[in-house]
Structure 1
Amino acid sequence: MTELFALLNFGGYIALLLWGVHMVQSGVQRAFGAALRIWMGRALGTRVRAFFTGLAITSAIQSSTATGLMITSFAAGGLVALTPGLAAMLGANVGTTIIVQLLSFNLTALAPTLILIGVWLFRRHQPSRRRDLGRVFIGLGLLLLSLHELVLLFAPLQDARLLEILLDALSGQPVIALLLAAILAWASHSSVAVVVLIMSLASHDMIEPSLAYALVLGANLGTSVNPLLEGAGDDDPAARRLPLGNLGTRLAGCLLALVLLPWLPTLMGVLSADPARAVANFHTLFNVAVALLFLPLLTPYARVLVRVLPKRSDPNDPSRPQYLDESAHEVPAIALGNAAREALRVADMTQSLLGMARAGFLRDNRHRIAHARYVNSAIDRLDGAITTYLATLDQDAMNQDDHRRLDEILAFSSNMAHAGNIATSGLLGHTATLRKKGWAFTAAQRDELTTVLDRLMRNQRQTAALFVAEDIRSARYLAFEKDHFRELEATAAERNLQNIQAGRLDQAELGSFYLDILRDAKTVNSFLVEAAAYPILAKHNELLPNRLRENSGAPE
């Protein structure tokens, strides 16, 4: 039983360590996440600037995995070139060593104070940046407490014969030790937690220096796998260039370090006689050395990655932009025209989704649901490409009318994409539920639903026409359509309530389902109105600030 409790304590303290790391990461990301992303997107320019940007971001959020996922998403969206992206990943790897250096000192006495400050900030304030900083302080306190308890737990294990045998076996197998630490770091999404655990083992002389350094190499290698698996979900091989390139630099560094492993204990012993400090120093030295080695080689390295992972171009892929010409960036008016033409493609695909939904309610069209999801995914990617294209325009070269048109294009494309999402997950999803449950609408419901979807498709066509040719009268007419769909929902809700009151529960269940369909149709129509009618009405000062009636007795 003693061994079982010791194992449970060990697992609990490891979980507390991981949770502390998670709270620090999530707290910083919640407090500064949006600002960090914006700053990173602007700062990833040259290799040197990108390197220090990655270092600074990771020093703040203490997760090279999170930074790697952000940089990978920027690279996949075309916001950052491959060479600066690789430099930023090298900086992120160095940045994650800072907290390890801090934790190598005995800061356990600060843990209660940090937790006290964190709980006060978290409980005292509503959701805000201060509340999120409270999470950071609590996480740091839990980190220090878990480390202290792990140190106390390992103290009596120094004489354990079984553990000594296992660690001795690993001492002669540095490659196996590296793979074991890599798996642990990949599973925990944190090299910090694994390296800190290695420091605890080294501080009690439970592992030899050479084994400790092999485990540190594995921890560094393991966290480079996460962005490759999670950040490159695109089928295009080009989307995997950055995470695979980062994995390649770490793998090359690990192989070189394994060759030098017999001489590393002597070298690290010169820097510090404390085993825990030596582990932290080696973690930092390894990442700095890899950065210094690869920074001058990133340009040819990037060319190799481009050649090995060429960009896949499918001419029949609906998500592939057809009009977003990069050479037109120097003339904002032309670039805006290209983006507007691409946004109309989004509108055409949204129209096809509404047609699929209409067909799905009239006849069994379950085989089209998979195709609808494919089209909806293409809409989302195309909307993202339009946003990226417009975001990279030279803002200083644009006049007031250009800025207004840019906002109109973004609003139109985004709202059309949202309408397509509701048509797919909502309306088409309801058709699947209808078939699964074997329900059948009444003749009145069927006719009304057909009329509603026809009206929705007509409004979608009018929205696309308004986006091309501005007409205040047509925009006002389209805006009034919201009242029609609101009245439809209210009438159906009243009818369903009467069925419930009359005890017609079989009709009430189908009535509630039918009401959900009308609500989704109303939501789609709202997105259509916001896509084109509202921008035109706002431009001509035809919109009220809100829908509340003026009331002189309202509180000031």
Structure 2
Amino acid sequence: MTFPVTLLDLAGCIALLLWGTHMVQNGVQSAFGPRLRSFLAGALKTRARAFLAGLGVTAVLQSSTATGLMVAGFAATGLVDLVPALAVMLGANVGTTLVVQVLSFDISPLSPALILIGVIMYRRANGQAPRDIGKVAIGLGLMLLSLHQLIALITPYEDAPSLRMLMGAVSTQPVVAVAVAAVLTWVAHSSVAVVLLAMSLGAKGVVAPEAALALVIGANLGSALNPLLEASSASDPASRRVPFGNLLNRLVGTVVALALLDPISRFLIGVEPATARAVADFHTLFNLILAVAFLPFLNPFATLLRKLFPVKVAESDPARPLYLDPAALETPVVALGNAAREALRLADILETMLACTRDALEKDARPRIPEAQRLDDVLDRLNSSIQAYLMRLDSEALSAEDHRRLDEILAFSTNMEHAGDVLDNSLLPLAAKRLKRGLAFSPEGQSEIAAMVERVIGNLRTAGALFMTNDARTARLLAAEKAVFRDLETRATQSHFDRLRAGKIETAETSGLQLDVVRDLKRVNAHLVAGTAYPVLQREGDLLPSRIASELG
């Protein structure tokens, strides 16, 4: 077999290793992501508990990036202080080493059994959780298979001059090895895969033990690059505190470990002659020593980061998204939470539009009309931003529950925008018409309109609460409001026709205007029900396909 073909096989084995790692991470996030996020949020009380929480969550997720995104979100919103957030990242870095410790032993015979069990669970299981666990088993099996194939592929060529020449620069220049591993980790988004690759190359003697350890150092450095690069797109510099702090302690560890690389490698090989085990032990010790060194100094470290990345003063543009963090897209449960928070802003804007409309209908408040029209533009732009953000999520990484939540967010934000369009295109022109013609509602009509607007505002607040809780009882209460508004429209229609029959032309014009207002408020209320109550009632099986009663026979 020619050397170029061998390189192609080598690339295929590495790709299989990366794909197996990707399957494990996605499966675990889909199965346990929300619960791990809740556990992490509740454990961030002290730096010791935060360190252990970061270690445990990352050991399950096998992704320090995912853990970092969760805790960075908590820190950016003020839910957790910067010190425990940094402690979580130190624990997360240790947590990623545990799977490497397990895979450093020869457990490749388990690969076929894991893949078989995983395929059966994925194809035959009814629930989403067993399917996700099946995906994890398949991923682990593929990782073991790729490592076995990698070693088998390298064995015949370990003395080949061409392969030795390729690895010569890496073996003789530790700085080059660190740079190569850092770039590979950045591209692959997985330090675990690169450390396992270094372990395989060292075990077959393709690279010297010292070079294998340098590759491990580079993998640890590269694992801190992606979170920082993703956070750099955020508008608030404060969101970069946690990832930059993580990168800074990686840099300190890299410099110290490179300076002491020769005595460290000789010591480890003397204690553990098997290179694969020495590489795994060094990976764990590197992160443990950094954690022990940095934990006592997190307070001054956090002070330094706050000075480097101060909180940015909010911009004046109300249509600018506040919570749609691009860095969170790799962790769907975090991204969906961000989108839900942004969607709630739509309800606040719509409430302000309703208040403007009420003022324009009740009194001579002409400036409130253009104010409400500007807010409708804000609604449209924010809704577009939310939809674009959600469409960037990897659908394969979403569980059934994630897909359901994504649909709920889209339904909520779309109906908020449609409700705003009703105000902008219909109710506000009615208010402008009343002011232009100098029409005045009767005291009774004025009171009825004010009561209806307040009722819609109350329903809007209920809809916002329902959007967050998905409570079936609240959904039934909100859905019942449709019948209330149908009755209000019926009474307003009857009152208008009674005035026409009585020949009261002067009052008929205002009653017709009032009828149009009632109909539009009914349409606004219908969007609130459709955007929040109907999805919950449909899930509970309480939503009928039609309101039309039919008699058979």
Asked if Structure 1 and Structure 2 have the same fold, meaning a TM-score greater than 0.5 normalized by the shorter chain, the answer is yes
- TM-score with structure 1 setting the length: 0.66
Q: 1:307 to 1:162 in 2, by over 3 A?
A: same
Distance in 2, Cα, partners of 1:151 & 1:419: 56
Q: Please, which moves more after superposition, 472-481 or 221-230?
A: 472-481
Task: Give the count of matched residue pairs.
Answer: 426
Q: 1:349 to 1:168 in 2, by over 3 A?
A: farther
- TM-score with structure 2 setting the length: 0.66
1:463 aligns with one of 418, 442, 456: 456
| Residue 59 (str. 1) matches residue 42 (str. 2) | no
What residue in structure 2 maps to residue 180 of structure 1? 180
5+ residue gaps, structure 1: 322-340, 355-366, 381-412, 429-448, 485-520, 539-543
5+ residue gaps, structure 2: 322-343, 358-373, 388-408, 433-448, 464-476, 491-520
Distance in 2, Cα, partners of 1:51 & 1:179: 28
Q: 1:533 to 1:247 in 2, by over 3 A?
A: closer
Distance in 2, Cα, partners of 1:110 & 1:49: 34
Distance in 2, Cα, partners of 1:522 & 1:271: 78
1:547 aligns with one of 533, 544, 547: 544
| Residue 90 (str. 1) matches residue 90 (str. 2) | yes
Following superposition, the deviation at residue 100 of structure 1 comes to 0.3
SS of 1:205's equivalent in the other structure is coil
Distance in 2, Cα, partners of 1:315 & 1:550: 51
Q: Kindly provide the CA deviation profile for residues 301-339 of structure 1, in whole angstroms up to 9, marking residues without a partner as x.
A: 001101111101136353899xxxxxxxxxxxxxxxxxx
Q: Kindly provide the CA deviation profile for residues 358-417 of structure 1, in whole angstroms up to 9, marking residues without a partner as x.
A: xxxxxxxxx99996665558999xxxxxxxxxxxxxxxxxxxxxxxxxxxxxxxx99875
| Residue 247 (str. 1) matches residue 211 (str. 2) | no
Distance in 2, Cα, partners of 1:468 & 1:189: 42
Q: Kindly provide the CA deviation profile for residues 203-229 of structure 1, in whole angstroms up to 9, marking residues without a partner as x.
A: 111111221111111101111111122
Amino acid at match of 1:252: V
SS of 1:159's equivalent in the other structure is coil
What residue in structure 1 maps to residue 435 of structure 2? none
Following superposition, the deviation at residue 251 of structure 1 comes to 1.1
Are the aligned partners of 2:479 and 2:529 in contact in 1 as well (CA < 8 Å)? no
Q: Kindly provide the CA deviation profile for residues 219-264 of structure 1, in whole angstroms up to 9, marking residues without a partner as x.
A: 0111111112224642111111111111111111111111111211
Distance in 1, Cα, partners of 2:41 & 2:210: 40
Distance in 1, Cα, partners of 2:163 & 2:431: 69
Distance in 1, Cα, partners of 2:482 & 2:166: 77
Distance in 1, Cα, partners of 2:488 & 2:152: 66
Distance in 1, Cα, partners of 2:288 & 2:487: 62
Q: 1:533 to 1:304 in 2, by over 3 A?
A: same
What residue in structure 2 maps to residue 38 of structure 1? 38
Following superposition, the deviation at residue 134 of structure 1 comes to 0.7
Distance in 2, Cα, partners of 1:481 & 1:23: 55
Q: Kindly provide the CA deviation profile for residues 58-102 of structure 1, in whole angstroms up to 9, marking residues without a partner as x.
A: 111111122112222222222221111110011010000011011
| Residue 16 (str. 1) matches residue 9 (str. 2) | no
Amino acid at match of 1:347: L
Q: 1:254 to 1:546 in 2, by over 3 A?
A: same
What residue in structure 2 maps to residue 153 of structure 1? 153
Following superposition, the deviation at residue 480 of structure 1 comes to 4.0
Amino acid at match of 1:169: A
| Residue 258 (str. 1) matches residue 276 (str. 2) | no
Amino acid at match of 1:11: A
Identity %: 44
Amino acid at match of 2:205: D
Distance in 1, Cα, partners of 2:320 & 2:310: 16
Distance in 2, Cα, partners of 1:114 & 1:88: 31
Distance in 1, Cα, partners of 2:125 & 2:53: 31
Following superposition, the deviation at residue 23 of structure 1 comes to 1.1
Distance in 2, Cα, partners of 1:375 & 1:146: 45
Distance in 2, Cα, partners of 1:252 & 1:302: 16
Q: 1:524 to 1:295 in 2, by over 3 A?
A: farther
Distance in 2, Cα, partners of 1:39 & 1:15: 33
Distance in 2, Cα, partners of 1:126 & 1:300: 51
Q: 1:375 to 1:263 in 2, by over 3 A?
A: same
